[in-house]
Structure 1
């Protein structure tokens, strides 16, 4: 399918800003750029309660922001990890989509402000993500969460972390997870798939940009072969929770997300895979601007509601 007209408008508007590509920025500059561009995503929804919690992790604490919907708890919960190549992004950049998911799915969304690279290289983000998930499972009553009904999810690098958390939970004896919602996830340290070849440039996320993100995330290149960095390379994927995998047609990461869905299915994991035609990487946050972003939000919310029913 041709590039969606709404996606093209996003690309044109972004290019008109005249910003340098991410690989020409420092991490600090790239973080500020993403925060600035987040304001263009439009207004956010009201949620009855938003609370921050400090969660202990190895070497410090991370913030978990809990969005609680209307109604009586305890609620099921989605533990959400934001995208941004493990280098950029934060609670603010994904505030809008977390609010919308909490309302649409009628669940608590617990957004994890994991520590970023290059200040904290692999495996810090993955370990933070797992520690936060385990803490939420252990403190459900304090959070108004039913710890028996937990899911994990995230977009891009956040999808990578969500996949890693499911592997870690299986390998380390819990917590039990009911669903993994992976939105155009990074699943391997590699840049030679067909979607990388066909969409290397021109669609906001580029192959050169992804190399920059990976170079900042990994302490050394060989870490990219570790399963918690590249879930697609995990020797076994059995025993993992059901998966919803969303990909975008004009995304360099499209093929690796779909390859991961295929490997999960081969391992006996129930999988729903949806490729959004005409879409670009990053569209999921654009619920005020792109019709298919709202459709994807609704698909994730419906999967959560069905899982938690």
Structure 2
């Protein structure tokens, strides 16, 4: 179908804005932070606090969102997107509030180290460390250590999927699910049909993805590492159930759908939804774009249903498989 009119209006407003890959990193970061003023007011939550925990590269900041009600609540570890290089806790604050309120869960948003200052695997190491910390300190968070989901959008979806792989391979903690919103799952080369069809004109471009990957990896050979590119894992068994959202006009559409197919082929429970007419990053526009509202509702409904189910023998099971 054609680009959704509400998305097209946003694309039109961005006409003339310098492409991300043409900017120095500090300027690109300022450009993305400026988006916050354009976002809708998110859902209300009961409490937001921040904690510093011991990270592998020094103190690691986490922002904790608690829903209304009496805990312990399910726990979602959230890793923000934007190419491992851009964005922050603040750019994704609204997304975390909407997940927290809509799913009735504690959300821990992780301020992982960014590239190019900190290349792979530093951001992933932070996400894995934070997830283990949250499991160990679940009582302090009013959360249930037995009901942990990793979640993220774009590069954050990559980090969520890679965290699930790492925790499977390294003995836990157990995960109940992975929520992957238009995730980065593979390197840009050789690329997919959607990389070619949506290379430019829809916000995120192929050139910007190449720029992100160049900043994230110290060596292109690192793209063969499944913890950098989860689609390249040799084994998808014993991974937690997944909801994978993709967007029709997104260079990353096909690799997200390929990742869902690999999970499903390995016997993992997967719900895959392609949001027609949408482009990469559309979940920033909850409250502004009708289909973004629908996608957020799908995320929170999936989480609520997952949390309501008793943990089965395969949910978050730690196998011996190696990528």
TM-score (normalizing by structure 1)? 0.98
1:33 aligned onto 2:56: no
Question: 1:24: Cα distance to partner?
Answer: 1.1
The equivalent of 2:248 in structure 1 is 249
Deviations 1:256-291 (A, max 9, x none): 000000001111111100000000000012102111
1:112 aligned onto 2:92: no
Distance in 1 of aligned mates of 2:174 and 2:261? 22
2:120 to 115, 119, 122: 122
Question: 1:43: Cα distance to partner?
Answer: 2.0
Which secondary structure does the structure 2 equivalent of 1:114 belong to? coil
Question: 1:39: Cα distance to partner?
Answer: 1.2
Distance in 1 of aligned mates of 2:212 and 2:307? 34
2:155 to 154, 157, 160: 157
1:138 aligned onto 2:136: yes
The equivalent of 2:315 in structure 1 is none
May I ask how many residue pairs the two structures share in their alignment? 307
Which secondary structure does the structure 2 equivalent of 1:141 belong to? coil
Moved runs in structure 1, 4+ residues, more than 3 A? none
The equivalent of 2:50 in structure 1 is 52
Instruction: Please list, as runs of the form range in 1=range in 2, the aligned pairs for 1:163-178 lying within 5 A after superposition.
Output: 163-178=161-176
Distance in 1 of aligned mates of 2:83 and 2:167? 22
Note the aligned Cα RMSD (angstroms): 0.8
Instruction: Please list, as runs of the form range in 1=range in 2, the aligned pairs for 1:169-188 lying within 5 A after superposition.
Output: 169-188=167-186
Question: 1:225: Cα distance to partner?
Answer: 1.0
Gaps in structure 1 of 5+ consecutive residues: none
The equivalent of 1:24 in structure 2 is 22
CA contact (8 A) 2:206 2:251 kept: yes
The equivalent of 1:196 in structure 2 is 195
Distance in 2 of aligned mates of 1:248 and 1:70? 31
Distance in 1 of aligned mates of 2:293 and 2:5? 15
CA contact (8 A) 2:188 2:209 kept: no
The equivalent of 1:308 in structure 2 is 307
Deviations 1:59-106 (A, max 9, x none): 202111111010001111110110110000100000011101100000
TM-score (normalizing by structure 2)? 0.94
The equivalent of 2:287 in structure 1 is 288
Distance in 2 of aligned mates of 1:280 and 1:177? 29
Which secondary structure does the structure 2 equivalent of 1:229 belong to? coil
Distance in 1 of aligned mates of 2:270 and 2:10? 30
The equivalent of 2:5 in structure 1 is 5
Distance in 1 of aligned mates of 2:258 and 2:285? 25
Distance in 1 of aligned mates of 2:235 and 2:168? 11
Distance in 2 of aligned mates of 1:42 and 1:269? 35
Which secondary structure does the structure 2 equivalent of 1:142 belong to? coil
Gaps in structure 2 of 5+ consecutive residues: 309-323
